[in-house]
Amino acid sequence: MKKTKLIVAAAWISLCVYSLIVFLQKSGEVSSEVSIALFIKMLILSFPTGYVGALATEYFLDLFDLGKIDRTIIVWFAMLMTGYIQWFLVLPALLRKIKNRNSLESKGSNQRGQSN
């Protein structure tokens, strides 16, 4: 099971990094469509926390004078981190908690049924 989680996490991170590489290769283009495409890809990979991370990062980036590419890379990293935390730390912990709660409830109902 842990090997599967590791493979899924590696694939997810690879997709995120690939999206950034494509952006960096096309960043010489003046069009903002490249930045929007990266944002949409990352939004899909990290929804819903990636969106919150991007908004919070953009809010704080307004305090600094950064170029468009720098801002995009920082927002990408924020979406990467929030998405990773969501999918590979918080979600598995919630699923374990639910599974443990369900197993405890089923043990409790089995014990009650046997004592009656």
pLDDT one-digit tens code per residue, 40-76 = 999 999 999 999 999 999 999 999 999 888 999 999 9
Give percent of the chain with pLDDT exceeding 90: 72
Q: What is the pLDDT of residues 19-39, one digit of tens each?
A: 999 999 987 765 688 889 999
Q: Is 39 exposed, middle or buried (0-12, 13-18, 19+ CB in 10 A)?
A: buried
Tell me, yes or no, whether 99 lies in a domain: no
Tell me, yes or no, whether 61 lies in a domain: yes
Tell me, yes or no, whether 92 lies in a domain: no
Structure tokens, 102: 């369900």
Write the CB contacts of 100 (distance below 8 Å, at least 6 apart in sequence): none
What is the overall mean pLDDT for the chain? Answer: 90
Tell me, yes or no, whether 62 lies in a domain: yes
Q: Residue 14: what pLDDT?
A: 98
Single-letter amino acid, residue 107: K
C-alpha span between 48 and 46 (Å, rounded): 6
- Domain hosting 17: range is 2-83
Q: How far is CA 25 from CA 20, 34, 88, 98, 100, in A?
A: 9, 10, 29, 43, 47
Tell me, yes or no, whether 97 lies in a domain: no
Tell me, yes or no, whether 104 lies in a domain: no
C-alpha span between 27 and 97 (Å, rounded): 43
Tell me, yes or no, whether 107 lies in a domain: no
Give the chain's domain count.
1
